[in-house]
A and B are shown apart, each in its own frame.
Chain A
Amino acid sequence: MSEPRQLSYRDALREAIAEALVRDPRVFLMGEDVGAYGGCYAVSRGLLAEFGPERIRDTPLSESAFVGAGIGAALGGLRPIVEIMTVNFSLLALDQIVNNAATLLHMSGGQLSIPLVIRMTTGAGRQLAAQHSHSLEGWFAHVPGLRIVAPATLEDARGMLWTALEDPDPVLIFEHNQLYNLRGSLPADAGAVDIDRAAIRRAGSHVTLVSYGGTLHKSLAAADQLAAEGIDAEVIDLRTLRPLDADTVLRSVARTRRAVIVDEGWRSGSLSAEIAARIQEEIFYELEAPVARVCSQEVPMPYARQLEAAALPQAEGIVAAARRTVGTHA
């Protein structure tokens, strides 16, 4: 067995890209400043020198054209990884993602598959204000034809990309900006992981906290605080937002009988609303308390530190929500 080593989430993503480039000559990376600059969040730093400008391809600031070019390249037999700097910029490429990537297989009666991977940064917490901080992955998770994943751990940052590249359909990977500096250890031989199932990151029996991406770590912190109060919280990491692994969520909530959904998206029309609805459709009579939600406040994300913090789900809010679900009928 090889020794585990210390690295960051960012390093894990970079290793995954480098491994894919080595393993499959059809793979290439393109996006704004992925080459000479090294990536807006330094994920691709060093890759240009190693793989050259044909495979680490800087693009103009033309989100629609380079995402569409990714679709065309996938149709033409390549395995593109397209990086979009941040989810807010992906709105400039919505036409290609929603009208083409998500529809071509279906409109063509199964003839055209699009093995395309799009990576993008999501989420707030860096005081980047209202055009670089939103969590719009829930919008994309609304669209049939797309697979949406959100790696929240080093293992998933290292392992989801290869599986996504092997998928015959478009996969969007959402990387929460607060995770890039997350450090931890991985085995030297860490590799591909599934992109189908949610994971239980902490087992518990009193309440289920449902989270993904950036909210996983806040939920784990909340679970620690709850433990000190004698409340045993189970923490689920959804990992894949579309298709949802509802079974894992429903089985957990059927056991704990209480659920708190933690979603950095806005509450109205959110992924959290979808999960709450599914719980109530499927296991309403198992519940001991109303399903609770902790979401972002419904404001464009503000710049000022205290306002941004107040707009986001925080461990304290998760603890309070969990306590209410338990307190109601404990």
Chain B
Amino acid sequence: MNKLYSNLFKKDWFGLLIVVFFGAIIISLLKPAFISPFNIYVLMSSISLMLLVAMSQMIIIAIGQMNLSVGAIGGLAAISFAGLMEVYHMPISISACLGIIIGVAAGFFNGYITAKTGISAFIITLATLYIFKGINLGITEAQPFYKIPEAIRFFGNEKIISPIPYLIIIPLIIVFMMWLLMTRTKIGRYMLAYGNSIQSSELMGISSTKIVITAHVISGLLAAIGGMLVVCRLSLGTPNIGDSWLLPSFAAPVIGGALLAGGKVDVLATALGVVIVAIISQALVIFKVDPFFVQIFLGFMILFAVLVNRYREYQEENKKKLFSHE
């Protein structure tokens, strides 16, 4: 029994689950409105959207890099999705395909240049952030696309059963697939190996180029899907979709125990990180706190989470040091 407890505690997500659980209880005791069906519905909708953003950054953190263009890719896919439907009256499926193609292409662009030139992903994605955002604004001229088919609005806003929105279906499936990817597939394990040690993984014959490109393609794809889901929720395709994604995209994985150096990410913990951020944002609204405090809070949370993660790594390393010196 003791072994079960200690194994559970080691898992990143367990601690977070406790935090979520107790946090939710405390908040609902103070403000019962928190657990009203409506509020839970709003919470779940916002979690649905944020999950994709977090996963998109998480996979890049796994290989030890950063993707600053997640918001820009999401935004570009979003307006293309909406625009195709409004302007060219294309069916939903075709428009969604375009969105997906954009995500994949953008991700491939990022990954290819990063892998082939060895320039840091940070700088590449900083440039593409402006390139994709620029294309976005160039196409939309800062005007949103309004005329979205009813089916989209329905998907983004209706509930399956009381508080559970349709919106959450796709993110849940994706979280599950990401979990499978990172824990049970060769390519996912190779990505983590690469994030752990580029040298060791190359010595074992893992192709760095393949890993980097694949990770960025997945990142772009997830960002694009996220953008399109936002369109469903808003029933609008506005050019500023994705503008506020950068901070939360890092916050959730980091709260979930990810190390920015790479090689350590936990899908479930990241998802719980999303939940925590969403709950906090919601709670601040319910307590009528200035919404900008969310920004401040997120900032502190990131710092705090990074420090905690570093501290834990440091403790692990020290334990090992004692081992090796006989």
A and B associate in one complex: no
